[in-house]
């Protein structure tokens, strides 16, 4: 950065020349925001403009920006022991694994990686190998949901149910199947939310049976589909999914990459339901994204199948160089302590309810078809007409996002242009947001929507 000084024009030029961005194509006329610093829920760009980050980055900066304690935790650990592979062990990984166990509230063993995608890849390999080692040799298939997102690597992308992200890279990994999500807003007329959710859960059992029970290894789902449009299931859905999985010897993998670490108003998203997943994957809020780290938590008795196998090939033959880096683990521990000390889980619940109450008033607006919340995640679904529920044109969604940005508020959207679902605006500010921050989000969004 020193070579750029304060020269923002030069930064934009060099960005164009050297940097390949995630997803979005930029041009010199339409440059990306270049961030320079951040504090609390606010980011300052290189021109000195301030924005409230209503998406916590990519749904991840749970404790907000500028936490000195996190920088110190990483710094101290980097001096003491910057690296040691988890082919063996180190103290920060042990302490964090114990802490995660406590947070999960059940007996899990923790495998560390670096990203949400990798945590899911590890889960898929564990599920297949576990099934083999208990004698279920044909169980290799995974069932996921359309509109769900599980990552960008080929296996995690195969589990993803968003055509837009996949079609250029197909054929992907084999054995990944999809069912419709419990999108209650679009349920058939005359059906209650509960009936519809039970029907959606039933489609999983039907698929297991049609595919051959003995060929299905696991079901993977987020507790609530977040990036795919904030699709919140009825309580009966997850109850029934768990019942189906147990009945048919299929593992239940819960992707808590977004919902974990207080975002849902509970420690983990699945704590809002009566489920005990076999495998839980997590990333993002684990370190509040200050450093890369992810984890795959595995029910103790599943782990035992790998541990007790005296044949060398019974072990989990999966290694990653950086997973469980000591500094990342030390920082994650401190991050979890902050969440506990500042009661941010409870705060997420409180703030989410406030946003939801305020946004529910917007249902009178001609474009707002539905408002859905899960803890501090809110989705506002925009439709052309409230009866047909046809999604509004993408240009309207982009226009609202741009207008919010021009007023200093960053919000997000779901995205599956190919399937035509890119009409849900998303809100997921840091759990540490102040009351004033939340008011700013509510007032700014309302004024933009009402043409103010």
Q: Which residues bind ligand PMP (CB under 6 A)?
A: 58, 115-117, 120, 149-152, 222, 226-227, 255, 257-258, 283
CB 409 within 8 A of CB 326: no
Q: Count other Cβ atoms within 10 Å, centred on residue 430.
A: 30
Task: Encode burial over 331-366: b for 16+ CB neighbours within 10 A, e otherwise.
Answer: bbbbbbebbeeeebbebbbebbebbbebbeebeeee
Give the SS3 label for residue 391.
Answer: strand
Q: Count other Cβ atoms within 10 Å, centred on residue 427.
A: 26
Nearer to ligand PMP, 129 or 426 (CB): 426
* φ/ψ (deg, to 5) at 421: -105, 90
Nearer to ligand PMP, 151 or 391 (CB): 151
Nearer to ligand PMP, 222 or 349 (CB): 222
Nearer to ligand PMP, 257 or 368 (CB): 257
Nearer to ligand PMP, 270 or 392 (CB): 270
In the complex, the smallest distance separating the C-beta of residue 260 from ligand PMP, rounded to whole angstroms, is 9
Nearer to ligand PMP, 226 or 296 (CB): 226
CB 43 within 8 A of CB 35: yes
In the complex, the smallest distance separating the C-beta of residue 224 from ligand PMP, rounded to whole angstroms, is 10
Nearer to ligand PMP, 96 or 448 (CB): 96
Using CA atoms, how far apart are residues 134 and 144, in angstroms rounded to an integer? 23
> Closest Cα partner for 185 from 37, 431, 368, 375?
368
Nearer to ligand PMP, 136 or 426 (CB): 426
Q: What is the bridge-based pairing of β-strands 42-45 and 35-39?
A: antiparallel
> Closest Cα partner for 376 from 351, 359, 411?
351
In the complex, the smallest distance separating the C-beta of residue 450 from ligand PMP, rounded to whole angstroms, is 31
> Closest Cα partner for 280 from 291, 265, 289, 267?
267
Q: What is the bridge-based pairing of β-strands 108-113 and 42-45?
A: unpaired
Using CA atoms, how far apart are residues 310 and 303, in angstroms rounded to an integer? 14
Nearer to ligand PMP, 295 or 368 (CB): 295
Q: Which residues lie below 8 Å from residue 204, measured CB to CB, with a gap of 6+?
A: 143, 179, 219, 241, 244
In the complex, the smallest distance separating the C-beta of residue 76 from ligand PMP, rounded to whole angstroms, is 25
In the complex, the smallest distance separating the C-beta of residue 364 from ligand PMP, rounded to whole angstroms, is 31
In the complex, the smallest distance separating the C-beta of residue 226 from ligand PMP, rounded to whole angstroms, is 6
In the complex, the smallest distance separating the C-beta of residue 149 from ligand PMP, rounded to whole angstroms, is 5
Nearer to ligand PMP, 114 or 432 (CB): 114
The DSSP H or E segment spanning 296 is strand 294-299
In the complex, the smallest distance separating the C-beta of residue 341 from ligand PMP, rounded to whole angstroms, is 26
CB 127 within 8 A of CB 159: no
The DSSP H or E segment spanning 38 is strand 35-39
CA dihedral 315, 318, 320, 325 (to 10 degrees): -40
Nearer to ligand PMP, 201 or 283 (CB): 283
The DSSP H or E segment spanning 381 is strand 378-382
In the complex, the smallest distance separating the C-beta of residue 213 from ligand PMP, rounded to whole angstroms, is 27
In the complex, the smallest distance separating the C-beta of residue 179 from ligand PMP, rounded to whole angstroms, is 17
Using CA atoms, how far apart are residues 362 and 409, in angstroms rounded to an integer? 18
Q: Which residue's CB atom is positioned nearest to ligand PMP?
A: 116
- In order, the DSSP letters of 264-288 are TSSSSGGGGTT---SEEEE-GGGTT
In the complex, the smallest distance separating the C-beta of residue 309 from ligand PMP, rounded to whole angstroms, is 29
* φ/ψ (deg, to 5) at 88: -120, -130
């Amino acid at each position: 950065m020193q070579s750029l000084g304060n020269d923002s024009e030069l930064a934009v030029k060099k960005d164009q020349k050297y940097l390949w961005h995630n997803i979005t194509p930029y041009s010199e006329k339409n440059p990306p925001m270049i961030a320079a610093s951040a504090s609390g829920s606010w980011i300052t760009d290189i021109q000195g403009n301030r924005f409230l980050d209503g998406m916590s980055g990519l749904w991840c900066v749970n404790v907000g920006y500028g936490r000195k304690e996190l920088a110190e935790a990483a710094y101290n650990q980097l001096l003491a022991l910057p690296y040691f592979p988890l082919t063996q062990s180190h103290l920060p990984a042990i302490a964090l694994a114990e802490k995660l166990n406590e947070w999960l509230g059940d007996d899990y063993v923790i495998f560390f990686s670096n990203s949400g995608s990798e945590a899911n890849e590890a889960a898929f390999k564990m599920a297949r190998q576990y099934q083999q080692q208990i004698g279920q040799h044909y169980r290799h298939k995974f069932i996921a949901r359309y509109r769900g997102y599980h990552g960008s690597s080929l296996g995690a992308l195969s589990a993803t149910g968003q055509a837009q992200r996949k079609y250029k890279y197909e054929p992907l990994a084999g054995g990944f199947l999809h069912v419709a999500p419990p999108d209650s807003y679009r349920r058939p007329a005359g059906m209650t939310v509960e009936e519809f959710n039970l029907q959606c859960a039933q489609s999983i059992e039907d698929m297991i049976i049609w595919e051959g029970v003995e060929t299905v290894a696991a079901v993977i789902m987020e507790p609530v589909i977040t990036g795919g449009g904030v699709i919140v299931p009825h309580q009966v859905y997850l109850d029934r999914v768990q019942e189906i999985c147990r009945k048919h010897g299929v593992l239940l993998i819960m992707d808590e990459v977004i919902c974990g670490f207080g975002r849902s108003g509970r420690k983990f998203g699945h704590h809002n339901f009566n489920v005990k997943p076999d495998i839980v994957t997590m990333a993002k809020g684990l370190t509040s994204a200050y450093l890369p780290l992810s984890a795959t938590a595995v029910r103790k008795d599943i782990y035992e199948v790998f541990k007790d196998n005296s044949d060398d090939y019974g072990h989990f033959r999966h290694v990653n160089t950086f997973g469980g880096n000591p500094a990342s683990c030390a920082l994650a521990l401190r991050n979890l302590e902050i969440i506990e000390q500042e009661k941010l889980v409870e705060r997420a619940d409180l703030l989410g309810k406030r946003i939801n109450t305020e946004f529910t008033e917007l249902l009178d607006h001609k474009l707002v078809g539905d408002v859905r919340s899960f803890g501090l995640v809110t989705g506002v679904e925009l439709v052309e007409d409230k009866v047909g529920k046809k999604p509004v044109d993408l240009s309207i969604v982009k226009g609202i996002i741009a207008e919010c940005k021009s007023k200093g508020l960053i919000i997000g959207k779901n995205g599956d242009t190919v399937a035509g679902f890119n009409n849900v605006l998303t809100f997921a500010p840091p759990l540490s947001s102040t009351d004033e921050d939340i008011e700013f989000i509510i007032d700014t969004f309302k004024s933009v929507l009402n043409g103010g």
